[in-house]
Amino acid sequence: MSSIPPETEGAADSGPLPDEPRSLRLEDWLTVIIMAALALITFANVLVRYFTDSSFAWTEEISVFLMILLALVAGSAAVARDQHIRIEFFSDSGSAARRKALARFGSLMVALLFALIAVLSVRVVWDDFRFEETSPGIGIPQWWYSAWLPIVSALITARALALFIRQGRPGAFPEVPVEKDHSKEIA
């Protein structure tokens, strides 16, 4: 059973959907690279622990950092694809104008939130650098980890603003709400 919705089945080989940004390849590739790194680090640690009864000290710290980075990168892709969390009862019902207004309000709030996180986290990075904070596990500079928060938050802000613009285009919301078949999402 195919998990591709019938209306997009033919478009699967022709690239991204018309409203999906082509630049999502960045997030998709970063997701693949981060997942591969997590798998390799974890597998190496399991092998070392199995054969030597000790483990690499750095694997937990790096794995936690990669999982946080993965969540942020996946969040960016979800915002760009308009798949972020929302209550569909409210967002997918009512007139096209109401759905458009709610969707654009949601996109604007996501952009505002992550812009605020990006701005405030620059101070965290500066403090980590200025006070020469080191990571607790392996003692590398803490700003190596924290520097990614404002960068990815700025990326999510840009994705949310691009979604806001796409949602403002004519025809972005059909007059009749489209019913989703959730049984295919699970398969």
pLDDT in tens, 94-117: 888 888 999 999 999 999 999 999
Question: Is the pLDDT at 17 greater than 70, yes or no?
Answer: no
pLDDT of the residue at 54 = 83
pLDDT of the residue at 75 = 94
Q: Is 21 left (phi over 0), alpha (psi -120 to 50) or beta?
A: beta
Q: What share of the chain is helix, strand, coil (3-state, %, to 5)?
A: 70, 0, 30
- When the pLDDT of each residue in the chain is averaged and rounded to a whole number, the result is 84
* pTM greater than 0.75: yes
Distance CA 154, CA 159 (A): 9
Higher pLDDT, 13 or 54: 54
- The residue extents of the domains of the chain are 24-175
DSSP 18-60: TTS-GGGHHHHHHHHHHHHHHHHHHHHHHHHHHHHS---SHHH
pLDDT of the residue at 109 = 96
Higher pLDDT, 143 or 58: 143
* Cβ–Cβ under 8 Å, residues 79 and 155: no
| Number of other CB atoms surrounding residue 130 within 10 Å | 9
The DSSP output letter for 94 is: S
Q: Is 139 left (phi over 0), alpha (psi -120 to 50) or beta?
A: left
The DSSP output letter for 179 is: P
pLDDT of the residue at 171 = 83
pLDDT of the residue at 184 = 59
Question: Is the pLDDT at 180 greater than 70, yes or no?
Answer: no
pLDDT of the residue at 9 = 42
**Mean pLDDT over residues 5-13, rounded?**
41
Confidence of residue 158 (pLDDT cuts 50, 70, 90): very high
Confidence of residue 175 (pLDDT cuts 50, 70, 90): confident
